[in-house]
A and B are shown apart, each in its own frame.
Chain A
């Protein structure tokens, strides 16, 4: 980790990711709406927000557990998934205009747009179909609930080795060797391999979950609230384990959590999500020093600290989207207020935030 985070190559790029779910016939739940970010090699990227804001959905969309609605996900420079909704919308808009269009020049332009977008859709579908599985295998996930995410009828060896078996490795000795190695890496012992998940405590189960992800030698791990289901005394063990693995194997981690003090401790950069949008993105020091978006401020003001005196005087800032923003003059967009610090804002807010930053700097 000699070179600075800023100079490192981009490992994962998420572009305008949208993930919609249908609710009944007409209603649509925009779980993730137009989210873009980069994750650089070797860094820990934290994703925070309240429950239901789309953190987990973002993680799952990246690892291709969902077919994304729109946007692109690039991993190591290759596109691994693509959505088509935005192209379809563009086609529909162009067709609508075409119907009433008199101007021939404009007509040709619109037809060009339609055919372009059709080509893009074809391209996206082909990309989704022919994606390099080996590449996607380099992204692994650690799940939130260590009890629900392990098959109770498989031994620990089978659970950890499953990925290798699916990958097509048949050499039993090699697999055993790898499993034992992994068990020791995560702080368990060889003898545990023949046991079943119910014989372990919560912390040990989560270690199995980590081992299962790490055995695939991934370059990116998506850790979806890996410690929130664990006991306090065990949490530190798992956090230290993830930190060790990161140093030893040069892992990149997308860390999803709602506990901000943990995220701050663990992450290099943090993205804050609110109802499907990413509202602020900055390095963790910067975010905690200059929170700009009112939601981030409210979130930071709500963190309880183990300090009774501080707690007695803590004032919580309430975020009310209707009162705090005035978006009549234009939709807010994601802008860079100062280097590497992005906020979702419109023109007026952009000026306000820039002023705050320049004053405080």
Chain B
């Protein structure tokens, strides 16, 4: 919401990230200076071969890079934090919960001595308590802030409204959790019953007793106040059904079983057709109206409870919140204006000359305070720039002044050693060790970096100002209240073992594991590779993350299952507005999944654009080569255009373009200098000298051109 001009919220921003690995042979440059943004609800595909730095990037985002990793520079901004600078404890709250990952290798990412079910539910159960605590903390902090702002506007929260609000949400969650559990079981039961009826009609029931037992579990779990209301009827159906199953196992006649299953199915179908209750309204009805729950069904309850949603209490509550929001936004606008002024001054001052260290530290502190005064505490989406401003400015300042000291020491060392060398040489003794070359850091670069931080902040705040001046406070209040409801719900959401099991089984079914209830109790070695991969996916999905990183999730799977998993990820993405980073080298999968594509080669992004840009108007020779080297269903017989050679050894990265040695379009400059990112359109960038205005005009290879024409993608 901070950048409504861009219409989409940036979930994750990676800036100038450079990663190296320490190896016995030297420092291996895995990722070189890459930057990308991930918007909310989009899929960014990272394409490249092994060793191109795809996995290194994603592991760094998750803070699980290997021990020999050196993060040379860069920022990863997420939810007001720079993930490269936060502590391990802070990471615990993000990893797996907010940012989740599907790993490539199912063999090494499952615990061999734990049952599958426990592995899926483990994180859910462990994280639940911490999540509740965290939401409670967050909610109370917001309430305190609201209270303090309200004190200024209307004298504080006299009538204990926040407590009442919490009570309402408490009642809501008390009824909602069992309802959703029972409902999902009813849905599962309905599907299982239909499947069973189908196999009965074709005489294809292999083991009626076991199948009925599974069905009965669903039936039993779907009994709830609001779903299957008649518990006795359900129980009688279940016992009759189990009896019929035993009989039919002996007699091989399924008529009585079929009748019972149909009965159960009809009961579930009827239950699912019921209107679903509005639990927030129910909470209001119970708390505000001081009512108790009788034997009403959900439609009646909804009708009774509806008036309480918009009664005096809620209206007053909302109008107070609106007042607080307006006051705080006004304050934040003032803060931003002040900050911009101060930042501009500081920027021009620092670019002319850097002050003494103590003075600079003071300046940094002042600036950070001013910037933080511009932050609106009621902004539910944190803009990462202003929150990380203090850390990045202070660390950049520290680097500058440390470098001054270090440069002097380095110069001294060099002078001393070369003097000694010269002395020895003058005596005619050939010294054994050469003098290590002088390595001074370029202070002007560091200075420019500091200026850049200030300027970025200014442009960020300018953007926010235009947004903040045009706020629609009614809309904002609604959004804020629903955010509060969401957070309050999270603080009440208790996950019991049975709930976790239910959810695990549902996810297992979603990822295409048959007989999920039976398999829940098995060990990883009892699963095939594809099945194990699906378990890993299920584990990642149970966490309900903000960002899902998929590191070659379907490479080990065959096409049908792959299609199923991709559909599932796409469905979840739509349902939960999930942002996905999808790492793969299968271009077909990329075409299916990606909204935008980043092609990586030797640690750099060589091409970056929407999926139409990259597939229909590829610009980099590496992308051409990738497209030409895969057979599609129409390319029979003609020889494939293979890429000669292998990727370069990144311990000794080539001086120019890393792809030059394998590139048949390489020019002299490709071996001399690395190409910058050339802009092709607003969304499409590529790093190749071929796009330089002085470069000769080169057409893409025939085979790629033909294929694009065949696809009909040329618009």
User: Which residues in A have some Cβ–Cβ distance to B below 8 Å?
Assistant: 49-52, 201-204, 231-237, 239-240, 243, 258-262, 264-266, 284-285, 288, 298-299, 301-311, 314, 316, 319, 322-323, 326-328
Contacts and interface: CB of A to CB of B under 8 A. Distances in A.
A298 B560 contact: yes
Interface in B620-653: 625-633, 635-636, 639-644, 646-647
B614 to A, nearest CB: 9
Which residue, of B204, B528, B560, B563, has the highest number of chain A Cβ atoms within 10 A?
A: B560
A232 B560 contact: no
Contacts of B656: none
Nearest to B613: A308
B646 A234 contact: yes
Given A50-B560, A232-B49, A306-B615, 9 more contacts: A231-B50, A234-B49, A264-B633, A299-B559, A304-B563, A304-B589, A307-B615, A308-B591, A323-B198
A328 B627 CA distance: 48
Interface in B555-578: 556-563, 566-567
Pairs A-B, 5 closest by C-beta atoms = A304-B588, A265-B631, A236-B642, A236-B629, A302-B563
Contacts of B713: 307-309
B202 interface: yes
Contact of A52 (B528, B585, B632, B647): B528
B450 interface: no
B124 interface: no
B369 interface: no
B631 A262 contact: yes
B696 interface: no
A19 B166 CA distance: 64
B456 interface: no
B711 A233 contact: no
B236 interface: no
Nearest to A228: B555
A311 B567 CA distance: 11
A201 B592 contact: no
Interface string B574-595: 0000000000011111111010
Contacts of A258: 558-559
B630 A235 contact: yes
B639 A243 contact: yes
Contacts of B629: 232-233, 235-236
B49 A233 contact: yes
B630 A261 contact: yes
Nearest to A243: B639
B590 A306 contact: yes
Contacts of A52: 528, 530
B49 A306 contact: no
B204 A322 contact: yes
Contacts, number: 147
A50 B558 contact: yes
10 contacts: A50-B530, A51-B561, A232-B49, A234-B643, A237-B644, A261-B632, A302-B560, A303-B633, A304-B563, A309-B711
A231 B643 CA distance: 11
Contacts of A328: 202-203
B558 A49 contact: yes
Nearest to B195: A322
A144 B589 CA distance: 22
Contact of A236 (B195, B528, B562, B630): B630
B529 interface: yes
B311 to A, nearest CB: 47
Given A52-B528, A203-B646, A233-B49, A316 B563 contact: yes
A298 to B, nearest CB: 6
Interface of B: 49-50, 195, 198-199, 202-204, 528-530, 556-563, 566-567, 585-592, 594, 611-612, 615-616, 625-633, 635-636, 639-644, 646-647, 707, 711-713
A306 B585 contact: no
B559 A311 contact: no
B569 to A, nearest CB: 13
Contacts of A243: 639
B643 to A, nearest CB: 4
A322 B49 CA distance: 41
A288 B713 CA distance: 23
Contact of B557 (A51, A237, A316): A51
B586 A304 contact: yes
Which residue, of B559, B586, B587, B627, has the highest number of chain A Cβ atoms within 10 A?
A: B559
B135 to A, nearest CB: 38
B199 to A, nearest CB: 5
A306 B646 contact: no
Which residue, of B199, B528, B639, has the highest number of chain A Cβ atoms within 10 A?
A: B639
B561 A265 contact: no
A308 B615 contact: yes
Contact of B585 (A231, A285, A322, A323): A231
Contacts of A264: 631, 633, 636
Contacts of B647: 233
A306 B632 contact: yes
A31 B561 CA distance: 19
A55 to B, nearest CB: 10
Contacts of B643: 233-234, 236-237
A25 to B, nearest CB: 17
A119 to B, nearest CB: 37
A232 B48 CA distance: 8
A316 B636 CA distance: 24
A201 B707 CA distance: 30
B530 A231 contact: no
Contacts of A202: 50
A264 B589 CA distance: 18
B281 to A, nearest CB: 39
A184 B41 CA distance: 51
Nearest to B52: A231
A50 B528 CA distance: 12
A231 B559 contact: no
B670 to A, nearest CB: 18
Contact of A51 (B528, B588, B639, B644): B528
Given A49-B558, A236-B629, A306-B587, A265 B202 contact: no
Contact of B611 (A203, A301, A303, A308): A308
Contact of A302 (B50, B195, B559, B627): B559
A233 B627 CA distance: 10
Contacts of A203: 646
Contacts of B566: 304
A270 to B, nearest CB: 12
Given A233-B49, A233-B643, A265-B636, A305 B631 contact: no
